[in-house]
Structure 1
């Protein structure tokens, strides 16, 4: 890198560090004349950086914002700070922040030098956060899977099923899905020759294989995870017609409890799974809207039995 190019990059870093700099201030920081500063500003403009200049009191050089602004230039300390914050944010509970942080972290990690990656890891390992109701996921696991999804690279991992059975999986990762409490990977299982969803907190020894694959037709990731967590694992599947707009029902019925589908403007169908029809009847009885059980017939019988017990419990009158 030539002295001129290096000085232009240092100038860019200074312009990003605060809103306005005067010419003499920049010249003093870079050890050059104000004429050299003007030439370097022109070079930055040619590269697409919108550097503004204003004369008079309060004037100076300012880096403008807009669509033409290329990526930020970060020094070592700034890169480490951003990476650490993104790793912490990827496991957070703020709606939408975890997925955005993970995507950004995957991009940043791709260009971080090895020496900075080790410093980021050191800070991460020495940081402790208070427990939360979410299932904590190792940030390196998230990052490896995110890279696999983006770069169509096969990954392997050890997996513990809900039954406790352990297995080794070879998959083609497709999408990561965050439900608010947990992270899931939607992937094509090479040994079972079918699509599967995996909870990240049940994974260990996640590793990229270096083998690339051609993407195959895939299901909708969010819908696939919703079905696999709220319907597929259970003995019974209930379909209930709820007399409420789907947007209103969605405020109470989380995606992890079942699937909602609009049925006109003022109704929706709620589909959910369970292993005990009696327990399902009790949960449904707490819905604040009028509803009818569409299926299964056994659930209607449980609803009648529950209604009879509640009538007796209410006493005479």
Structure 2
């Protein structure tokens, strides 16, 4: 009886984790026969859970609406996943640090003793990685407005803010009218939130930093479009004009690279800015904890570098080149002595 009850809770947890499950998939996950799964589904129905049978080639079983799930439907691995996720979530949204801590405490209090012990065994201490390229947190209200527009497929009217978060006013050189966007995807990359949208005014796809938007939701719907190239990750990473601004570092420099902007944007670290110059050249602006650090990142692109700024960056590149030349000279001297 205990085994049956435990399996029924596992089955309920699976049904609550996604839309529709095929019978054979449930059988495989629970490691029992399909007949046993049907019997357990019947048990859940007797207990009042709205288990719905979906007909057709893509059919199966799903959990209907109108019945709240009990709070204790997590297995051991799910409890660990929640504990890790809540303690390692990036601080990319204003004011959520206290909320995640409270959420973790609430989840622990709602767990049975065995699962609570598993969650409490993972008390993590996060240390800063100085090679991270952090982004400033964004406003939860703006994030919610954008996310809701994506989910409901409603046109979004938004202003694009300056890098410092201020709004341009009419008459200023950088003033631009509000954009009408069809918001398709909300993504996170390099601890930054981006909106992938079709700009109805520019008639092209754009990638926008959510923290640079001042959105005004509408109730006007739109039909989904196919993304260029049908590869969301590649489109975001290779879009050089996605609204990025240099991260705050001790040192910030730039160089002209003999590579197209979309290639450099694909491999440039978060917190850097890629400027399109022509089809074969771009300018990369980035920061690091030292001038040698910037020089090292630039060297990873394995291409000619010109027009380096400021002079400290140029001097750092010269010093590194001198050191490497010294290693080559020393190696050549050793080889001559051996022979």
Report the TM-score when normalising by structure 1.
Answer: 0.43
